[in-house]
A and B are shown apart, each in its own frame.
Chain A
Amino acid sequence: MTSSPGMLGERLVVRRTVAAPPDVVYRVWTEPRYARQWSWGAEHDTIAVDIDLRVGGIWRQEIRNRANGETWWFDGEFRAIDPGKRLVHTFHWRNDRGEDHGTSLVAIDFIDHGGNTEVVITHTELRDEQLRRDTEKGWEDVSAVIARLAEQTSRGQST
C-alpha cells in the first residue's frame, strides 16, 4: 500500500502498510511453508527454508536465480521474538560467486492499523553497534553531510 524508505547514517528504515492483520502477516513471515512462497521475489526459486523460531534459534534460506543459476544463502540468529509484534535477528548473506555481504542486524515491527499492518524494517550494520551507541546524537548530522556531499558529486564536481 504505502512505502517510504528513510535513513539515519547506515541505519536503514523501510516501511510498508499491507492489507492484512498483524497475526496473519507474522505467520506468513515466520512459517516456512508460507515464507518459502514469497521470500525473495519472483526471479528466484526457493531451494530451502529453515526457521527455528526461538531466541538463539537459527533461520536459513537458500535461493537460486532462475536466469543465471546464481545461488544465495541467507541466515541469521533470532535475538528477540514478540509473537505477532516484533522480530529481531542477525542477517548474513553470501553467494556461490564469492560475494559476501557480512553480518548485519534486522528488526521487524508489525504494527496494527485497524486490521492492516504497518511493517517497519530497521536494518543496521552490526559491526557499528557500539560506535553508534557512542555517537547516537551525531547520526542525523552524518547523513546530512553525506547527502550534501553526494549532491555535489552528482552535480559533477569530482575529485
Chain B
Amino acid sequence: MVMSRPDRISLVFQALADPTRRAILERLASGDLPVSDLVERFDISQPAVTKHLNVLQRAGLITRHRSGRLRLSRVRRHAMIPPLEWIRRYTRLWNDRLDSLEALLADPTIRKELES
C-alpha cells in the first residue's frame, strides 16, 4: 500500500512522541547497534526494545540489517525530511500570503476605502 504523505508524517511524529524511542534514535545516531546494547543501555526488557524498534521501523525512521551473528539497527536520516518539508511548505505559503496582504494594505486607494 502506498502511504500518503500526511500518514507518513503522522507515523513519524507518533514514533517520536515516546521519550524512550527518541532516546533510542539518538543513541543509534552515533552508530548502528544490536538490540542487546539498547537493552543494557536503557535497562528495559528485550521484547520492549524490540517493540520500540518495530514502531521506529514502521515509521521509516530506522532499518535493520545483519552483520555476522548480530542484527543491527540503523537510523534512516532521510526519514526526517517529510516533517521538515511540511513545515517548509506551510511557512512559504503563509509568508507569500502575508506579503500579498501587506501589498494590498499599502495601496492608498484601498486604505482610503477601508478607513472611510
Report which A residues bind B (CB closer than 8 A): 1, 3, 5, 7, 9-10, 12, 14, 16, 18-20, 24-25, 27-29, 34, 37-42, 101-102, 104, 119, 121, 123, 125, 127-128, 131, 134-135, 138, 141-142, 145-146, 148-150, 152-153, 157-159
**Which residue of the partner chain, among B14, B29, B91, B100, contacts A148 with CB atoms under 8 Å?**
B29
Contact indicator per residue, chain B 83-98, by CB within 8 Å of chain A (1) or not (0)? 1101100110011111
- Chain B count of residues within 8 A CB distance of the other chain: 46
Question: A70 to nearest B CB, angstroms?
Answer: 15
Q: A127-B6, A131-B14, A141-B22 are in contact. Are A18 and B102 (CB under 8 A)?
A: yes
Contact of B80 with A18 in the complex, beta carbons under 8 Å: no
Determine whether B52 belongs to the interface, using a CB cutoff of 8 Å to chain A.
Answer: no
> Complex formed: what's the CA distance from A158 to B16 in Å?
20
**A-B contact list, 18 entries, CB within 8 Å:** A3-B98, A9-B16, A16-B102, A20-B105, A20-B114, A24-B111, A24-B115, A28-B104, A29-B101, A37-B110, A38-B103, A104-B90, A119-B98, A125-B10, A148-B29, A149-B75, A149-B80, A153-B78
Contact of A159 with B76 in the complex, beta carbons under 8 Å: yes
Determine whether B64 belongs to the interface, using a CB cutoff of 8 Å to chain A.
Answer: no
